């Protein structure tokens, strides 16, 4: 008989659960996996300092209702999106729509949970690629700006492109590979 222990519960206060910034390790891996040097737009930055791109869509601009090609900006081809996890379904749906509408590559960092209903609805047959790291990424605390270790879930990069696929191609990779080059 096997014994299963429950996973570690989050100790993060509810009012902070959506405010985790992307680590440099994660963003460097995402850039390398997408084959680019930079993202043109960050769809979920709270400020210019937190943005992982030159341009960003602030909470006041509302990424769910605004265009991710940033209106009159020309040359927008790639978008970074580390959405508030409580709204991941809305952002995944919007990422797919904006990718098709504006011919964009959109890379979203989300929890890797392929057994969930939301994953089957918004990722499985909608994304082009799902990049699954060999370990967990730490995040950066929004207030202290320090790395938070011991994240209790695995993240992945879900990439939407205008190319339609019947099923997202899952690709495993070594976390941190881009920083080792």
| Distances from the Cα of 31 to the Cα of 1, 53, 59, 158, angstroms | 44, 11, 23, 12
What is the predicted pLDDT for the residue at 149? Answer: 78
Q: Is residue 1 part of a domain?
A: no
CA pair distance 88, 110, nearest whole angstrom: 7
CA pair distance 178, 30, nearest whole angstrom: 9
For residue 138, the enclosing domain spans 14-180
pLDDT in tens, the chain (181 residues): 333 334 445 454 444 455 568 889 999 999 999 999 999 999 998 888 889 998 999 889 999 999 998 765 567 899 999 999 889 999 999 999 999 999 999 999 999 999 999 999 999 999 999 999 999 998 887 777 787 777 778 999 999 998 877 899 999 999 999 988 6
Q: Is residue 71 part of a domain?
A: yes
What is the predicted pLDDT for the residue at 6? Answer: 40
Q: What are phi and psi of 16, to 5 degrees?
A: -110, -5
Q: Is residue 104 part of a domain?
A: yes
What is the predicted pLDDT for the residue at 157? Answer: 98
Diameter of the chain by CA atoms?
A: 62
Domain count, the chain: 1
Q: Is residue 43 part of a domain?
A: yes
Q: Is residue 30 part of a domain?
A: yes
Q: Is residue 5 part of a domain?
A: no
Q: Are strands 129-133 and 155-160 parallel, antiparallel or unpaired?
A: antiparallel
What is the predicted pLDDT for the residue at 73? Answer: 58
Query: What is the CATH number for 68?
Result: 3.40.50
Q: Is residue 18 part of a domain?
A: yes
Q: Is residue 106 part of a domain?
A: yes
What is the predicted pLDDT for the residue at 21? Answer: 81
What is the predicted pLDDT for the residue at 164? Answer: 73
């Amino acid at each position: 008989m096997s014994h299963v222990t429950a996973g570690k519960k989050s100790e993060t206060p509810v009012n902070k659960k959506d405010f985790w910034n992307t680590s440099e390790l994660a963003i460097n891996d995402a850039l390398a996996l997408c084959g680019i040097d930079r993202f043109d737009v960050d769809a979920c930055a709270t400020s210019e300092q937190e943005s992982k791109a030159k341009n960003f869509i602030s909470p006041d601009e509302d990424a769910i209702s605004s265009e991710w090609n940033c209106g009159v900006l020309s040359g927008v081809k790639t978008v970074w999106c580390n959405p508030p996890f409580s709204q991941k379904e809305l952002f995944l749906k919007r990422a797919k729509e904006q990718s098709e509408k504006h011919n964009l590559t959109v890379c979203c960092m989300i929890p890797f949970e392929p057994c969930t209903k939301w994953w089957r609805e918004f990722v499985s047959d909608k994304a082009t690629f799902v990049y699954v790291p060999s370990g967990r990424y730490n995040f950066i605390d929004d207030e202290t700006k320090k790395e938070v270790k011991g994240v209790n879930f695995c993240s992945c990069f879900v990439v939407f492109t205008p190319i339609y696929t019947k099923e997202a191609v899952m690709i495993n990779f070594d976390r941190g590979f881009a920083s080792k080059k």
